[in-house]
Structure 1
Amino acid sequence: MKKYVCIHGHFYQPPRENPWLEELEREPSASPHHDWNARIADECYAPNAAARILDGGLRVEQLFDNYARMSFNFGPTLLSWMERHAPDTLSAIVEADAASRLRLGQGNAIAQVYNHMIMPLANERDKRTQVRWGLADFRLRFGRPARGMWLAETAVDAATMKMLAEEGVEFTILSPFQARRFRVDGGAWADCGDGSIPTGRAYRYTTESGKVVKVFFYDGGIARGIAFERLLSDASHLTSALHAAWAARRAPPDEPWLVHTATDGESYGHHFRFGDMALASAFARLEADPDVEVMNYATFLDRHGPRGDVELHPVSAWSCAHGVGRWERDCGCRMGGDPSHNQRWRTALRTALNLLRDQLAPFFETSMLAFVDDPWALRDAYVDVVLDRTRMASFVARHARRALSPDEQVRFFQLLELQRCALLMFTSCGWFFDDIAGPESGILMKYAARAVDLAARAGFVDGARALERDFMTELAAGESNTRRPDGGRFDGRELYRTVARPAQVDAGRVAVSLALQCANSQPAPTHIAAWRVVLHEELAVDDAPVPCVSGRVHLVDDRTGEAEATAFVVVGFGGIDWRGVLLPERELPRLRARLEDGPEASALARVLDKEIGGGARGFTLREAPADLRDEIAWRSLTRRLDLTDAVIAELLLSERALLRGVVGMGTTLSPSLRALIGHALGRRARDVVHELLRGAGSGAPYMRRLRTLLDDAAELGVTLELTGVARDVEADAARALRALLRVEAGQPLEPAVAAVARLLDVLGLVAHDRPLSTVLPLVARLVVRARVDEHVKLATSSLLPALDRACRTAFVRP
């Protein structure tokens, strides 16, 4: 009998975007990456599309697509981030599902409730929207209906199972500890509340309405070994655990049996470095065994169906031993840390958010009844616009009972965005960790603040202020374990004021962003975060003693259609001292004339101060969105350091022979001198690489110069910081590989191949231990194409030496 095996990965990150910008701001803790999504994508999501399998000589023997073998779900909000920031990885995930359909008849991917809301704690309306939005997102991404659905934290109750059944979800995956009792083939019921349910078959769960949802209970021992122990330290450990589970099965010898488990997908590369490679090697070994078939849940159901029935505990989840207490009270479940800390704040946060949701609902419903007959059905349908903002006009035409004026359309979408934020503010991670002062709880407060703002903008001005006061009163009962400098403890109300509210970005701050980009000679963007720049005019003030730029801008919020026009003046007084004003467009000619009359910097400053005193909105660099502020500040600093770096580099290079002699005699350079040398040589190396990326000449002299700098660093025993530039080279190499893959049959490949080879040569010098997670999935696609196209194989054979150097291993020919 075949040994059936299925490994499920739950891939998910909470929505961390600033709700006003719809973009992630820099997260220093994710360094050297911009944010945690980018870091985890680099360590896990991308590598699993082309995991390296090594031979005995540590040569890359195969690039293995784990997604094509494993069952998986991705959080819809994470996929939306990927669509913007990691499109190659998203394409690889979708293509892997299509490949699994060809191999097995059914796809590996299953859906997930939309934003990881704890379903038993949600009201019925939110439950339904979570399921419908999750299914709609899946249908758009994968081009087919979802058969299964992952529940956030596997949290479930009878009402949640009923909702799944009503919305056509065929199966879900739960922890064995969530089953209360089971029976097989209509036999006697057996208790299994201790997690002892046999996990190798599918079970029927019958809802109160008589509908059925099939349930798979994953192998808890294997899951624990992957997530918390050492099963991913070697592929043999994982395969041995799977075979042992088969040998220990509790079933009749002729019953088809599925050995399966489920964990966070981030185990495979993020939680455990090289976990993607261990998983790939395990899959390769399993597929080489004629007695084993790797499959997914839908295929197992099609072949064998459920043989058992199951009843569940009334309320349960995989990460809480107290039902769903972890997301509403101080139940004792926690990450660890100081034993004197408590999580009583969870109740205050849950109570405050429930209150805000329930106070916003009547305003939404009453306001939207002016446009549609069923506001809540409209919210369910709104996912079509959330997934594709170009559908806004057609959405209004399809759902509104009459034609709407431009102002009514703006209000229409403000109300719907209000509800989207009211869903996102219940994302589970806000309660999971140990303190309300953590960033996860702060994100929920930001979405709450954005919902309040939208209510006010949609006409609920006084009501929004009142409900925000009520919300903050409830939050005040949530005391943090973190102490203030005066020894007291923060509470939720203080955190809302200091974390959520300062994150607010209105059209004015977006205009500030544009003004500062213009003043710093950056190209004018067509978009700034979620705002479209539809008109931009920029003029420098002639003969000004310091940089002085004025302009006009028209901005449109992509989410609501709300438009705003303003004018700006910004003056640079040196370094990071940028000051400016926003004012009505009609006032700009008057202000420009005054600025042109003031020849001295001090006069310009007085003009700006007078405008601000007269009611104009003043700004400095501090008012810019954080990423732009940091970029401008860093540029100002590096401009001043450039001269110093150049002098140091020239001095060190001119004394290269002396330094080599000192090191050659066995003299140890002091740490400060090594750091100085590393900084100077690293800066010079980065400059050379950027010249190569700009396509300077043939590139040969720059490559020689780069090799010389790297050789000098190695001989002197210093480390060069090249992480950032290696990312830049990898991004360019990925773009070149995409261009190569787009070359149509019959067209010359040589120019595209040459571009890829040049960039791979550079990458081989600077990449060091980078996983090349952006490049390798594209290489895997190129290998597949070369196997079926002799012309591609011949044309790309010249890439192999460069690829071997970039990967630090010898890549086996396709």
Structure 2
Amino acid sequence: MSRQLCIHGHFYQPPREDPWMGEIFPEDSAAPSLNWNQRITRESYAPLAWARRTDSGGCITDILNCYEWISFNAGPTLLGWMERNDYPTYQRMVDADRVSIARWGHGNAMAQVYHHTILPLASAQDKKLEIAWARADFRARFGREPEGMWLAECAADTATLEELARQGILFTILSPHQAAAVAESGPDDRQEHWQPVRGGEIDISEPYNIELPSGRSIAVFFYNGPLSQAVAFERLLQDGENFWLKLSGAANGGLLTVCTDGETYGHHFTFGEMALAYTLGQAISGRDNMRLTNYATYLTQNPPTRKVRLHEPSAWSCAHGVERWRSNCGCTDGGHPQWNQEWRTPLREALNMMKKAVDAHTTAEAALFKDSATALEKYGEILAGSVPREAFAADNFTPGLTPEATKKAWQLLAMQEQALAAFASCAWFFDEISRIEPVNSMTYALRALEILKGTDGPTLESDFAAILEKARSNKTEEGTGRTVFENHVLPRRETKASIILQAMLRLWAEKRLPCPNIKNTVQWRNLTVTILPTDVVGGSLSGEARIRWANEPDGSPVEWEWMPPKAGTIHETAITITGKDGSRQTLRYTELPRNKRQAIAMRAMEVANTQRLDAFEEDAANAVALFEPWVEAQHDQPMGHHWKANAPALAVAYMKHPGLSDNQRRQLAQFLTDSGLLIGGGREVITNWLTMRLLRFIESASEPDAKDADRQWERAASIVERARTLLPHPDLWAVQNRMWETGFRSAGARRFATAIGFRV
């Protein structure tokens, strides 16, 4: 009997975007990456899109897009970030769904509730929005309706499943411990036909049906708990063959399904994606009479013959229903077993108070919409970018609104999105209220309260803080939830002064401060700032700025004065703005929150490094001519410290120019390696240059009308071979990916592919 295998990956990162700017600012704990989205993508999500299979010598024999062969869900907020910041990986995921439809008739991709909210704890309206917005996002990305949807933490109850079924979702995935009883499908529901499930002991080789009070039903798959646990926590991914044997040994008739977080492959276990690629390769080959499938395909071919009842409410990661997300139930993570989580209850109370006020205000302003509930549900299409704003407004706003009323309608919708973002499950998942996850949650709540007040709603910030005061941090220095809110959340709030100061500092970091009467623009996702200096007095600039938010056609002008920082004095710089009433506000650089100061520093370093890389080409040519070979007993250049200061240019010359004699090349390589300047930051600079250069070669040599393509491939291969004598294991990951997509169609291309690590 054929055995079928479905490996599912849950790809989720909490919403991290700053609610004012709409971008993710630096996160210290993710260093050296910019933020955790970037770090996890580089360590896990991207490697899964280009998973290497190698021979015994370490040469690449195949690059597998694992997403083509596994079931997966990815959070809408994560996919949005990936589309903007790592489009190649994003596109591999989208393409994989299309390929799996062509292969099996149904796609690998599943939807996920929009903000990873624990739906059993959400209101009926919020359940509807989280599911509807997720569907809208899925349609925009994958071009079809989702058949299945992943519930945050697998948290389920009847009301949640009813809403899934009402919106056309056919199935979801749960933990076997959530099953309470099973029975044969049929019209007779008498209690004696129901068999209790104890300790998660349920036949997981088939889907089950859940019959709902409305008369609808939804199918559910149960994953293999022990095996999923072994993959996630027991180092099963250290060896691909061992992984395969575990799977093969656990599979009987029907379906074997394993579910883990996507970051398991690479972030938690280095090269875990290679173990997965090996295992997928075994199944693709038909080894042990096992073949791959996805949930929708299996469900179509094997409709449920039995039904199941659940423990309600329940979730995979809490032994107490869904108490982990509202009380001190004992389920936690974070490495401090002596800490308590009494803070969870007041945090949820504060957020619930905020959300009820937001909902009441939206209802009070319902006259702005043709139907406010429909407008809210359809707003997911705006978030997904699938409907023009003008068309949405025409379909959903009351005709004849003034510009101010139209602006208010957009603000109310944005307020709801910020309020929902505050309920992402990770705010309660870990062990301390001062962690980044609860702080981010409170930040979204602050933005929602700010919009509430700004659209003629009540002022509730002090009430919100008063509830948080009941939450006590496990860290004495952090105090209560109120002090966490005041010390870590309120400083993040943007004002006109903070926005204009950041715009000026961005221009300064990018070395493009405008001259008087010349406009310049700084843009973030949610807003645009136009700067117009009008006067310079003693080095101090003054002028006009215009802040335009995404939902506003025009921004109001603001007068400002600013003294650009001299070298080493950025901590002293401050901006002063003047209001329409003549009031003045001054804000210093040091008053910006840490992550926004870091963003300025990062941009300044990025620009400086780019300029340095651009200068390498010219410096490299000079370095070749000026580096004299050693004479007897010589081991360094005279004034060697000057040469060492230019080590990157010398390294570029070494890699790029074939005209060096063997003796000169050997001595230059020895000088560079002995200097220790090609480790750490120096290695990164050289690797970046090498990557950019080789990618240019690939693009140029791959053009249909490329002249001397084989000669270009030969030059590129020679650069790689010279680079390996300086950097024995250069990071050519991006180059290898691009070359794999390009193909090895000519002798020159095959020569280059061999040089960068392929077995051709």
Q: State the identity as a percent.
A: 32
Counterpart selection for 1:469 from 456, 462, 465: 462
Map residues 262-661 of structure 1 onto 2, 5 A cutoff. 262-289=259-286, 291-335=289-333, 337-367=335-365, 369-388=366-385, 391-460=388-457, 463-464=458-459, 467-484=460-477, 490-520=479-509, 522-523=511-512, 526-533=521-528, 535-538=530-533, 541=536, 544=538, 547-561=539-553, 563-571=555-563, 572-577=565-570, 579-583=573-577, 615-623=583-591, 625-631=596-602
Letter of the structure 2 residue corresponding to residue 305 of structure 1? P
Equivalent residue, structure 1, for 2:670 = 711
Alpha-carbon offset, residue 711 of structure 1: 3.5
Q: Distance in 2 between matches of 1:754 and 1:391?
A: 49
Contact residue 407 and residue 551 of structure 2 kept, 8 A = no
Contact residue 3 and residue 293 of structure 1 kept, 8 A = yes
Equivalent residue, structure 1, for 2:147 = 147
Alpha-carbon offset, residue 582 of structure 1: 4.0
Contact residue 203 and residue 308 of structure 1 kept, 8 A = yes
Q: Distance in 2 between matches of 1:318 and 1:434?
A: 18
Q: Distance in 2 between matches of 1:766 and 1:74?
A: 40
Note closer, same or farther for the CA distance 1:199–1:758 as it changes in structure 2 (3 Å cut).
Answer: same
Q: Secondary structure of the residue that 2:424 maps to in structure 1?
A: coil
1:812 aligns with 2:759: yes
Equivalent residue, structure 2, for 1:257 = 254
Q: Distance in 2 between matches of 1:749 and 1:324?
A: 65
Counterpart selection for 1:720 from 675, 679, 694: 679
Note closer, same or farther for the CA distance 1:203–1:631 as it changes in structure 2 (3 Å cut).
Answer: closer
Q: Distance in 2 between matches of 1:107 and 1:512?
A: 47
Alpha-carbon offset, residue 170 of structure 1: 0.4
Q: Distance in 2 between matches of 1:171 and 1:268?
A: 25
Letter of the structure 1 residue corresponding to residue 165 of structure 2? A
Equivalent residue, structure 1, for 2:753 = 800
Letter of the structure 2 residue corresponding to residue 386 of structure 1? L
Contact residue 185 and residue 306 of structure 2 kept, 8 A = yes
Q: Secondary structure of the residue that 2:473 maps to in structure 1?
A: strand
Alpha-carbon offset, residue 394 of structure 1: 2.0
Contact residue 157 and residue 315 of structure 1 kept, 8 A = yes
Note closer, same or farther for the CA distance 1:398–1:626 as it changes in structure 2 (3 Å cut).
Answer: same
Equivalent residue, structure 2, for 1:233 = 238
Alpha-carbon offset, residue 120 of structure 1: 0.5
User: CA-atom RMSD, angstroms?
Assistant: 3.8
Range with greater deviation from structure 2 (264-273 or 517-526): 517-526
Contact residue 729 and residue 763 of structure 1 kept, 8 A = no
Letter of the structure 2 residue corresponding to residue 576 of structure 1? T
Note closer, same or farther for the CA distance 1:519–1:62 as it changes in structure 2 (3 Å cut).
Answer: closer
Question: Any idea what the Cα deviations from partners look like across 1:181-231, whole Å, max 9, x if unmatched?
Answer: 113455943221310111111111111111111110001111011011021
Alpha-carbon offset, residue 522 of structure 1: 2.3
Q: Secondary structure of the residue that 1:216 maps to in structure 2?
A: strand
Q: Secondary structure of the residue that 2:427 maps to in structure 1?
A: helix
Q: Distance in 1 between matches of 2:722 and 2:402?
A: 56
Equivalent residue, structure 2, for 1:781 = 741
Contact residue 202 and residue 214 of structure 1 kept, 8 A = yes
Alpha-carbon offset, residue 65 of structure 1: 1.0
Gaps of 5+ in 2: 514-519, 610-618
Q: Distance in 2 between matches of 1:122 and 1:730?
A: 51
Note closer, same or farther for the CA distance 1:634–1:88 as it changes in structure 2 (3 Å cut).
Answer: closer
1:211 aligns with 2:209: no
Gaps of 5+ in 1: 250-255, 588-613, 639-645, 663-676, 787-791, 805-810
Letter of the structure 2 residue corresponding to residue 202 of structure 1? P
Q: Distance in 1 between matches of 2:102 and 2:701?
A: 22
Question: Any idea what the Cα deviations from partners look like across 1:356-402, whole Å, max 9, x if unmatched?
Answer: 111221112212x2211322221111111112298222211121121
Note closer, same or farther for the CA distance 1:168–1:271 as it changes in structure 2 (3 Å cut).
Answer: same
Range with greater deviation from structure 2 (703-712 or 42-51): 703-712
Equivalent residue, structure 1, for 2:27 = 27
Contact residue 236 and residue 282 of structure 1 kept, 8 A = yes
Alpha-carbon offset, residue 761 of structure 1: 7.0
Q: Distance in 2 between matches of 1:306 and 1:706?
A: 70
Note closer, same or farther for the CA distance 1:349–1:213 as it changes in structure 2 (3 Å cut).
Answer: same
Contact residue 425 and residue 448 of structure 1 kept, 8 A = yes
Q: Distance in 2 between matches of 1:633 and 1:204?
A: 57
Note closer, same or farther for the CA distance 1:617–1:534 as it changes in structure 2 (3 Å cut).
Answer: closer
Q: Secondary structure of the residue that 1:481 maps to in structure 2?
A: coil
Q: Distance in 2 between matches of 1:552 and 1:505?
A: 18
Map residues 113-132 of structure 1 onto 2, 5 A cutoff. 113-132=113-132
Alpha-carbon offset, residue 735 of structure 1: 6.2
Contact residue 581 and residue 616 of structure 1 kept, 8 A = no
Contact residue 528 and residue 549 of structure 2 kept, 8 A = no
Note closer, same or farther for the CA distance 1:580–1:540 as it changes in structure 2 (3 Å cut).
Answer: farther
Letter of the structure 2 residue corresponding to residue 181 of structure 1? A
Q: TM-score, normalised by structure 2?
A: 0.86
Letter of the structure 2 residue corresponding to residue 622 of structure 1? T
Q: Secondary structure of the residue that 1:316 maps to in structure 2?
A: coil
Q: Distance in 2 between matches of 1:72 and 1:297?
A: 10
Q: Distance in 1 between matches of 2:304 and 2:245?
A: 27
Note closer, same or farther for the CA distance 1:197–1:732 as it changes in structure 2 (3 Å cut).
Answer: same
Letter of the structure 2 residue corresponding to residue 812 of structure 1? R
Q: Distance in 2 between matches of 1:18 and 1:706?
A: 50
Letter of the structure 1 residue corresponding to residue 759 of structure 2? V
Contact residue 43 and residue 269 of structure 1 kept, 8 A = yes
Q: Distance in 2 between matches of 1:170 and 1:736?
A: 46
Contact residue 629 and residue 663 of structure 2 kept, 8 A = no
Q: Secondary structure of the residue that 2:479 maps to in structure 1?
A: strand
Question: Any idea what the Cα deviations from partners look like across 1:327-354, whole Å, max 9, x if unmatched?
Answer: 0000011126344310010011011101
Alpha-carbon offset, residue 621 of structure 1: 2.7
User: Number of aligned pairs?
Assistant: 725
Q: Distance in 1 between matches of 2:561 and 2:629?
A: 49
Q: Distance in 1 between matches of 2:90 and 2:8?
A: 18
Q: Distance in 1 between matches of 2:662 and 2:220?
A: 58
Q: Distance in 1 between matches of 2:665 and 2:115?
A: 47
Contact residue 550 and residue 568 of structure 1 kept, 8 A = yes
Q: Distance in 2 between matches of 1:454 and 1:475?
A: 20
Alpha-carbon offset, residue 570 of structure 1: 2.5
Letter of the structure 1 residue corresponding to residue 561 of structure 2? V
Q: Distance in 1 between matches of 2:64 and 2:601?
A: 39
Q: Distance in 1 between matches of 2:32 and 2:472?
A: 33
Contact residue 14 and residue 429 of structure 1 kept, 8 A = yes
Note closer, same or farther for the CA distance 1:184–1:491 as it changes in structure 2 (3 Å cut).
Answer: same
Note closer, same or farther for the CA distance 1:407–1:724 as it changes in structure 2 (3 Å cut).
Answer: farther
